[in-house]
Amino acid sequence: MKAIAVFPQQREVRLIDAQEPRLTGPDEVKVRTLEVGVCGTDREICGFHYGTPPEGSGHLVIGHECLGEVVETGPAVRGLRKGDLAVLTVRRPCGLETCPSCREGRQDFCYTGAFTERGIKQQHGFMTEFVVDRERYFIPVPRELREVAVLVEPLTIAEKALIEVWQVQQRLPWSCPSAGGERKPGHCHHALVLGAGPIGLLGAMAFANAGFSTVVYSREGEKSDKADLVRSFGAQYISSEVTEISNLVERMGTIDVVYEATGASRLSFEVLEQVGPNAAFIFTGVPGLKGPAAIDTDRIMRNMVLKNQVLLGTVNAGRDAFENAIRDLGDFMRKWPDSVRRLITGRYAIGDYRTPLLSTDGIKNIITFN
């Protein structure tokens, strides 16, 4: 079967002929790959900046944003049947006795760093025609989401952040939007999303859907397609061309939650200086290490203490975030179907893999495996 593989030693990305995987345990499931999303991580792996092949292998099959259709199940599989659609989680446990989070199935909080990740770290990924894994790593997807379910994995970043925001902001029981999506009037419903890439836009949809009055702040102009897309799902768009960070509060009101999806650390810390009382600030980007920058640490620390602010980072996602992503994607499709479809800007056959892996055009590009 065909697979897209990166050879870090030879600095090559190639279509290879790989052995079709077979079930080896009773709780395993085999899916036929339908679509795999391409993201910045894949592009970094293809640029040989990131990613590790499995031990003993000279190559890594990439891809971690997978939608598949079940073709075969082991005798112990209960929750999936032939013909079902499913998405896969990415991270696999470190297996070390000393790691309580991995033992609990929460490898997204792994303590040891010895976890593996399909398509990224020491395990082959999903840009291949068939995938086998244990049932516990699949989440079933309703058939009506077939067209957009490849967006589930990138949406889980925001869903995990939202779960954590709810947990933190339970300390403000008088005024937080509820997890069910109902907005109560109050003082913690202004969300600011930094960046209008796929993670930012999906995050903005998730925050808007959860009842936050949501603003996306990014580089593109206020008359751009991106700005128009943001407004199409009821969020506000503010361009950094027009509004400086120091004027954000004036334009949007108090900032209660920030969802950072740019990987730009300097911008993020400048925004952190502007956030309001009892705010939660979430980092999701992984910046390249560009050396020290000057920031006003006294002001930031003073604010954080005197305003009860919380700063948290989040990576990867657990099963709960995947389930919420599937639920919310269903909400998005009922409320803003055209906006969701506009996030998928290109579908490429496997033979044309180079275009989406090498270019940054569009929002979310996808490789199809029909």
Residues that bind Zn ion (CB under 5 A): 39, 41, 94, 99, 102, 110, 112
Please provide the size of the chain in residues.
370
- Give the helix ranges, DSSP H, for 88-224: 100-103, 152-169, 198-209
Q: What are the beta bridge partners of residue 366?
A: 37, 347
Tokens of 7: 């050879």
- Residue 8 burial (CB count, 10 A): 17
CB of 153 to Zn ion, least distance (A): 6
Nearer to Zn ion, 101 or 175 (CB): 101
CB of 87 to Zn ion, least distance (A): 12
Q: Determine the Cα–Cα distance for residues 181 and 186; give it in Å rounded to an integer.
A: 14
CB of 196 to Zn ion, least distance (A): 17
Nearer to Zn ion, 54 or 276 (CB): 54
CB of 96 to Zn ion, least distance (A): 6
Nearer to Zn ion, 112 or 224 (CB): 112
CB of 65 to Zn ion, least distance (A): 5
Contact 34, 370 (CB under 8 A): yes
Q: Determine the Cα–Cα distance for residues 243 and 98; give it in Å rounded to an integer.
A: 49
CB of 154 to Zn ion, least distance (A): 6
Nearer to Zn ion, 6 or 94 (CB): 94
Q: Which helix (H) or strand (E) holds 238?
A: strand 236-239
Nearer to Zn ion, 25 or 95 (CB): 95
Half-sphere exposure (CA, 13 Å, Cβ side) for 188? 23
Nearer to Zn ion, 112 or 368 (CB): 112
Contact 257, 276 (CB under 8 A): no
CB of 277 to Zn ion, least distance (A): 34
Tokens of 359: 């270019």
Nearer to Zn ion, 110 or 238 (CB): 110
Q: Got the DSSP string for 194-216?
A: E--SHHHHHHHHHHHHTT-EEEE
Q: Got the DSSP string for 58-88?
A: S-EE---EEEEEEEEE-TT--S--TT-EEEE
